[in-house]
């Protein structure tokens, strides 16, 4: 079997990769819907993989893996890797999880990072009411993640939240020391949300990047009585092209509150410091940024050897990203906690694919399906109407 073409189309806002072969088996994958600019990145790798046997996933990846980097520049490599696994599974007639070592669990736990409801203002009551609506959502989430501090509107919405001038732009540009007023604002809303969650639902908090070490320690210690599930990306994180494991280690050693990071990190090698220094309690790579699902599995295994939990990121990876996460998380060791539930945006995505269960999530879990490859396929005729003129030949 040989790879005959690599294509990329933006469907909705998600870049979608298609790899074709001389035996008529195609592989698909998606990148985050925040990366509609990814097409030329993907196509850069076309000449590197043409003519290769897609079933030799690692051999193909040796040709391109070194040519990516931290988020967002590893996304193209990651989606190609996932599409290769899709082909390999279909060619063998087995689900991808079989090729990754087989199932450890028959269903995988998910946490809520993307099912949201409008919040009326930024009062303590408003945060509590939004959390109550998420808790009542039919998926029955056992962990709910909420954005706070520098991963929220607090720096610009709360006058004097931190010692800096708020920047009202995307991708978390705000960074600085939090004022006493800001810290009190933050802790009060966390306490209100946790009161709603009770001990039935874990509360995780996405905090940055942007916090200083001193504030990260102060916040972690302040919420210790609340038994928070984790504090995520306080110092570095989303779109930050470095790790700073020693700073995380200082925070982690100062508190009993679990500390989490990793969604922006590319490749297993860049997790080594975090894991070997036991700088965090939980790692959260994204399969569509780390370099694919084999990288994710390797990091899970290595983290387990060091007593570190695994809670993968993936909130906007789309339906093929969801399928990838279900397959790889089914194979992870007992340090797997939950992955971030990947919702389709726009919702018409659910109308152009086959293979997803209905409902997808029951009691915060997804049953692992047994179809070959990733187990999700396009309804091509339905999907074609969402192609732009430039991408009209994507399914040809």
Same domain? For 72 and 104 the reply is no
Mean pLDDT confidence for 85-106:
98
Q: What SS3 class is residue 8? A: strand
Same domain, 69 and 159: no
Average pLDDT over residues 214-228: 98
Tell me, yes or no, whether 396 lies in a domain.
no
- Domain count along the chain: 2
Task: State CA 393 to chain mean position distance.
Answer: 30
Residue 125 has what pLDDT? 97
Tokens 């087989």 identify what position? 102
**Averaged pLDDT for residues 145-158:** 95
Q: If you average pLDDT over every residue of the chain, what do you get?
A: 97
User: Distance of CA 318 to CAs 42, 231, 297, 346, Å?
Assistant: 17, 25, 20, 10
pLDDT at 25: 98
**177 with 83, same domain?**
no
341: containing domain:
98-373
193 in the same domain as 67: no
> 173 pLDDT exceeds 90?
no
Same domain, 56 and 118: no
What percent of the chain has pLDDT above 90? 98
**Whether residues 182 and 281 fall in one domain:** yes
Residue 87 in this model has a pLDDT that exceeds 90? yes
Residues 59, 161 within the same domain: no
**Is residue 290 in some structural domain?**
yes
Measured CA distances, 223 to 123, 184, 220, 355 (Å): 19, 11, 6, 41
Residue 375 has pLDDT above 80, yes or no: yes
- Which residue shows structure tokens 């990047």? 209
pLDDT for 176 equals 97
Q: Over 80: is that where the pLDDT of 396 sits? A: yes
Contacts of 305 (CB under 8 A, 6+ apart): none
The CATH number given to whatever domain includes residue 297 is 3.20.20.120
Same domain for 87 and 14: yes
Cβ(231)–Cβ(220) below 8 Å? yes
Residues 230 and 368 in one domain: yes
> Do 139 and 58 reside in the same domain of the chain?
no
Say how far apart CA 176 and CA 208 lie, in whole Å: 11
The answer to whether residue 235 sits within a structural domain is: yes
Decide if 26 is inside a domain: yes
Same domain, 243 and 342: yes
71: DSSP letter: T
Beta carbons of 283 and 274 less than 8 angstroms apart = yes
User: Could you tell me the pLDDT band of residue 168, with boundaries at 50, 70 and 90?
Assistant: confident
73 in any annotated domain:
yes
The predicted-structure confidence for 29-52, as pLDDT tens digits, reads as follows 999 999 999 999 999 999 999 999
Query: For residue 171, what pLDDT is reported?
Result: 74
Q: Could you tell me the pTM of the whole model?
A: 0.97
| 27 confidence band (pLDDT: 50, 70, 90) | very high
- CATH number of the domain that 26 lies in? 3.30.390.10
Query: What are the tens digits of pLDDT across the range 224-272?
Result: 999 999 999 999 999 999 999 999 999 999 999 999 999 999 999 999 9
Residues 223 and 328 in one domain: yes
Q: What are 145's two structure tokens?
A: 């993640």
| pLDDT category of residue 108 using cuts at 50, 70 and 90 | very high
Mean pLDDT over residues 23-31, rounded?
98
Over residues 110-120, mean pLDDT = 95
């Amino acid at each position: 079997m040989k790879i005959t073409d690599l294509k990329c189309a933006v469907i909705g806002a998600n870049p979608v990769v298609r790899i074709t072969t001389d035996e008529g088996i195609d592989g698909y994958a998606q990148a985050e819907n925040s990366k509609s600019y990814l097409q030329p990145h993907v196509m850069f790798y076309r000449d590197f993989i043409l003519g290769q046997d897609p079933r030799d996933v690692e051999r193909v990846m040796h040709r391109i893996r070194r040519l990516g980097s931290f988020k967002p520049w590893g996304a193209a490599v990651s989606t190609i890797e996932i599409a290769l696994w899709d082909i390999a599974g279909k060619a063998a007639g087995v689900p991808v999880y079989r090729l990754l070592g087989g199932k450890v669990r028959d269903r995988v736990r998910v946490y809520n990072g993307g099912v949201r409801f409008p919040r009326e203002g930024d009062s303590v009551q408003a945060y509590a009411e939004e959390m109550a609506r998420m808790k009542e959502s039919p998926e029955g989430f056992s962990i709910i993640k909420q954005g706070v501090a520098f991963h929220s509107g607090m720096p610009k919405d709360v006058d004097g939240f931190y010692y800096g001038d708020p920047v009202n732009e995307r991708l978390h540009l705000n960074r600085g020391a939090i004022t006493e007023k800001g810290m009190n604002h933050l802790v009060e809303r966390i306490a209100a949300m946790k009161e709603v969650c009770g001990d039935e639902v874990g509360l995780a908090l996405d905090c940055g990047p942007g916090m200083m070490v001193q504030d990260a320690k102060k916040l972690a210690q302040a919420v210790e009585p609340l038994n928070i599930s984790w504090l995520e990306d306080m110092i570095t994180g989303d779109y930050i092209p470095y790790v700073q494991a020693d700073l995380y280690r200082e925070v982690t050693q100062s508190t009993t509150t679990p500390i989490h990071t990793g969604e922006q990190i590319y490749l297993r090698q860049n997790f080594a410091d975090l894991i070997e220094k036991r700088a965090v309690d939980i790692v959260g790579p994204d399969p569509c940024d780390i370099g694919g699902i084999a990288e994710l599995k390797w990091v899970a295994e290595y983290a387990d050897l060091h007593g570190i939990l695994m809670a993968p990121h993936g909130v906007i990876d789309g339906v093929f990203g969801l399928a990838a996460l279900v397959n790889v998380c089914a194979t992870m060791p007992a340090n797997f906690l939950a992955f971030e539930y990947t919702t389709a945006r726009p919702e018409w995505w659910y109308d152009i694919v086959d293979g997803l269960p209905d409902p997808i999530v029951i009691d915060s879990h997804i049953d692992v399906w047994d179809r070959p490859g990733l187990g999700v396929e396009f309804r091509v005729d339905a999907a074609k109407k969402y192609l732009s003129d430039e991408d009209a030949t994507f399914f040809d």
